[in-house]
Structure 1
Amino acid sequence: MASLRRALEANPDDAVLRLHLAQTLLSGGDPAGAITEASVALRSDPGNGQALGLLAAAATALSTPPASATPGAPAAPVAPAGSAAPPVPAAPAVPAAPPEPGTFDWEQAEHEVGSTVPPPFVERVPVGPLADDDAAAPVEVARETVTLADVGGLDDVKRRLEESFLAPMRNAEVAKAFGKSLRGGLLLYGPPGCGKTFLARAVAGELGATFMSVSMTDVIGPHIGETQRNLKAVFDEARGQAPTVLFIDEIDSIGMRRGALSGGGAAWLRQMVNELLMQLDSMSGDNDGLYVLAATNNPWDLDEALLRPGRLDRTILVSPPDPNARASILRHHLRDRPIAGIDVEHLASVTDGFSGADLEHLAVTAAEKAMMQSIAQGSISPITMDHLGAALREIKPSTVAWLESARNVVRFSNANGRYDDLAALLSGKKRR
């Protein structure tokens, strides 16, 4: 498994290798990990039959009680790595489907499946226990110190954030006078590697709020009802720490279109989306002081209900960094390294389309070349424009493929004007 992951780090776009890892995870009893890897493969090849089959098989495995619950039960069959679509194991007899969201009998579900595993979080500052003795164990959150001043460039995005989100939240009394509730939902979308997570942290820092980050792997559970329970526990903890910025990364993985779901795991996936919608509406809780920020590379894959008023009703495009932002990012990644004669403004002008992650990779690659030269000559050789030029010949902007795939979305799926910002960005790229 470790060898597969190292190979993927070296070749992240190798779909065959990624699907082999997903199959290995599924065979090894980790369906949640298999779903993650298969979803990544589907982003680059939405029609991949093997990936779709793996996703369905893994979803079915998650919604099926584990084999260990029945002594002597045979393991669920899986397809060989080269097959077009793994066979979906026959589901054992289970109780009737639960009722609509809001009426699910959690006590009965807990009795059936036993205790649950609390969702892990990336931040490592422990907080007090939840009020509910039966809830998941304490989660870990943090207070953010990063602000928008720490975000290089992206002035238009900052302005949109200030107008649509931050100003009303900072001026609570004025907002209340105009009947605005102290809650919010905002969707950040754009190419990968352009700083959506960093922006979410900056928003938390601007508000002086607790920052909680959650992704699909933090809430997916193998037992019936566990995923919904984990989602509820996440939102309950966020409400308990208000003001809180709850950041849901890659929300398309837990908020996909319900109408497009089919196969053995469709019912389980729909229940997951339903629970997310219910928590955003907070039918049983108070969301005041809870600011939900979500990020995705593919907003067109989201269930439309997530984008209705009162949920994620504001959408902001986080585009590839502009020249000022690229210069700022390059300075940041070069500042603690030995450099000589670096023309950052020139580098910013020749890296159009580079994401923040691409620019970091550029700086690291140039540093590696300077390091190897230093080792060869026995003395420190600083990073120069020659090293950066050689790195530029190897590294290409990663946002181009995403922008090209987004053109059809703007052309055929922008009747409501939701992607006007994206249309303007693509128009500018085309003119250049």
Structure 2
Amino acid sequence: MVSLPDDNVGHKPKYFEIDEDDPEALKRKIMKLSKELKRLRAEVEHWKNEVNKIANPPLLEATFLDFLPDGRAVVKSSAGPTLVVEVSSRVPRELLKPGVSVAINQRGNMILEVLKGLEDPYIKAMEVVERPKTRYSDVGGLKDQLREVREVVELPLKHPELFKELGVEPLKGVLLYGPPGCGKTLIARAVAGEVGATFIRVVGSELINKFIGEGARIVRDVFNLARKKAPSIVFIDEIDAIAAKRIEMGTSGEREVQRTLMQLLAELDGFDPLSGVAVIAATNRLDILDPAILRPGRFDRIVYIPPPDKKGRLEILQIHTRKMKLAPDVNLEKIAEMTEGATGADIKAIVTEAGYNAIRAGRRMVTMEDFEKAIEKVLSKRIGATYRVSQKKEFQFHTI
């Protein structure tokens, strides 16, 4: 007779007797204990690995720049300095290309792995719309301006073979300028929607970073993302935040803005307009932009987006009221006359406010009186006589 411990882990073993004359029972018990031993060994190995992970120092993220003749690598550490490091034998050298993110050990003397698909959180936070639903029919009063933008953006994205066949290089970018609320962003979204392109909206102020070199890296990452998601349209709103005229002397912050601008200029010079990426920028202040951003080969077409005239205001009203239940007394032409000086954004606000007026009155239909009250409320806040005068003085330029 033999005595073997029971397999209840963590409890006091219970001994029982196995008849030596019953080898099958003994085999079953040995097999069971072998499985339990294998499981326990795997669990011990797991916890050893966890302890090693805790004990190992963290890795630093860096950007690979180039190889030296002796086989070592030059990297730009996220902490700031440029380092010369060794490359681990586990890292395939064909994966190391300029601009690739890599992980180096804390002492900064070896590349241990390549970080694939790493995207900056600033880039993830930006507005990226795979296929915008905005269409040309959603743009009112800007027929000529829309045609100019379409020629530069839509043709190379939809029919690149035309340019290749003719041997003509298409224009690279479009700069839209004019008063706020007149449809600059709307035009960019409409073109992206009609072409079926990814719409990447970047605000100029988001490209400014307090750390040296970070703004330039974000610009580079934006264009890399655009190439990955091609066909795509990069829309840089408020570009004057980074593209204002440069001065010789300035603070360290101003110099960082200039570095970001230089990276943007380099991206505009370097990308191929037939690669499936188009660039549209917008500003309210064309007069303060650096001449380098305006020269041909970067933003080849500069388009003025004016406040809508009477016909344009009527088209915008028709767009925003097409799903609205209007009373018979509503006269959109008269409303267009009453809203002289209003922008497209103002007209949209008027239509929305008129709908709220009807809801407050308990009606299921919007009347002319609702629109009159909405015009008085919206325009009294946004368009006084002073605003009209400033509009005429500041935005009377239509050509460069």
In structure 2, give the amino acid aligned to 1:233.
Answer: D
- Alignment correspondent of 1:353: 341
- Alignment correspondent of 1:224: 212
Structure 1 residues 330-345: aligned runs within 5 Å: 330-340=317-327, 341-345=329-333
Q: Does structure 1 residue 136 correspond to structure 2 residue 120? A: yes
Q: Does structure 1 residue 305 correspond to structure 2 residue 292? A: yes
- Alignment correspondent of 1:111: 79
Residues 366, 328 of structure 1: alpha-carbon distance in 2 compared, 3 angstrom cutoff: same
In structure 1, give the amino acid aligned to 2:188.
Answer: A
Show CA shifts across 1:372-427 (max 9, x none): 333xxxxx2632212222232333364735523426x84xxxxxxxx428xxxxxx
In structure 2, give the amino acid aligned to 1:136.
Answer: D
CA distance in 1: counterparts of 2:302 and 2:116, whole angstroms? 34
Residues 333, 159 of structure 1: alpha-carbon distance in 2 compared, 3 angstrom cutoff: closer
Residue 263 of structure 1 deviates from its aligned partner by 3.5
Q: How many matched pairs?
A: 286
Q: 4+ runs of 1 displaced by more than 6 Å?
A: none
Preserved contact between residue 243 and residue 289 of structure 2 (Cα < 8 Å):
yes
- Alignment correspondent of 1:290: 277
- Alignment correspondent of 1:241: 229
Q: Does structure 1 residue 420 correspond to structure 2 residue 399? A: yes
> 343-352 or 134-143, which moves further after superposition?
134-143
Residues 260, 253 of structure 1: alpha-carbon distance in 2 compared, 3 angstrom cutoff: farther
SS of the residue 1:192 aligns to: coil
- Alignment correspondent of 1:373: 361
In structure 2, give the amino acid aligned to 1:190.
Answer: G
- Alignment correspondent of 2:257: 269
Show CA shifts across 1:325-380 (max 9, x none): 32232234334444312111211122222111111121233233333333xxxxx2
CA distance in 2: counterparts of 1:234 and 1:176, whole angstroms? 26
Larger Rg: 2
Normalised to the residue count of structure 2, the TM-score between the two structures is 0.63
CA distance in 2: counterparts of 1:141 and 1:382, whole angstroms? 34
- Alignment correspondent of 1:323: 310
Preserved contact between residue 313 and residue 336 of structure 2 (Cα < 8 Å):
yes
Out of 195, 198, 201, the residue aligned to residue 186 of structure 2 is: 198
RMSD: 3.1
Show CA shifts across 1:302-344 (max 9, x none): 1110111111121011112233332232234334444312111
Preserved contact between residue 184 and residue 290 of structure 1 (Cα < 8 Å):
no
Percent identity over the alignment is 35
> 228-237 or 167-176, which moves further after superposition?
167-176
CA distance in 2: counterparts of 1:344 and 1:308, whole angstroms? 42
Unaligned runs of 5+ in 1: 1-104, 115-129, 375-379, 411-418, 422-432
Show CA shifts across 1:146-171 (max 9, x none): 33233223222123234444345433
CA distance in 1: counterparts of 2:117 and 2:353, whole angstroms? 51
In structure 1, give the amino acid aligned to 2:371.
Answer: L
CA distance in 1: counterparts of 2:323 and 2:134, whole angstroms? 20
Preserved contact between residue 246 and residue 290 of structure 1 (Cα < 8 Å):
yes
CA distance in 1: counterparts of 2:75 and 2:253, whole angstroms? 23
Preserved contact between residue 113 and residue 224 of structure 1 (Cα < 8 Å):
no
Structure 1 residues 34-45: aligned runs within 5 Å: none
Q: Does structure 1 residue 383 correspond to structure 2 residue 366? A: yes
Preserved contact between residue 144 and residue 204 of structure 1 (Cα < 8 Å):
yes
CA distance in 2: counterparts of 1:131 and 1:240, whole angstroms? 17
SS of the residue 2:130 aligns to: strand
Preserved contact between residue 256 and residue 301 of structure 1 (Cα < 8 Å):
yes
CA distance in 2: counterparts of 1:281 and 1:190, whole angstroms? 25
Residue 261 of structure 1 deviates from its aligned partner by 7.0
Q: Does structure 1 residue 176 correspond to structure 2 residue 169? A: no
Out of 254, 266, 279, the residue aligned to residue 242 of structure 2 is: 254
Residues 240, 286 of structure 1: alpha-carbon distance in 2 compared, 3 angstrom cutoff: farther
Residues 147, 368 of structure 1: alpha-carbon distance in 2 compared, 3 angstrom cutoff: closer
- Alignment correspondent of 1:117: none
- Alignment correspondent of 1:314: 301
Show CA shifts across 1:21-71 (max 9, x none): xxxxxxxxxxxxxxxxxxxxxxxxxxxxxxxxxxxxxxxxxxxxxxxxxxx
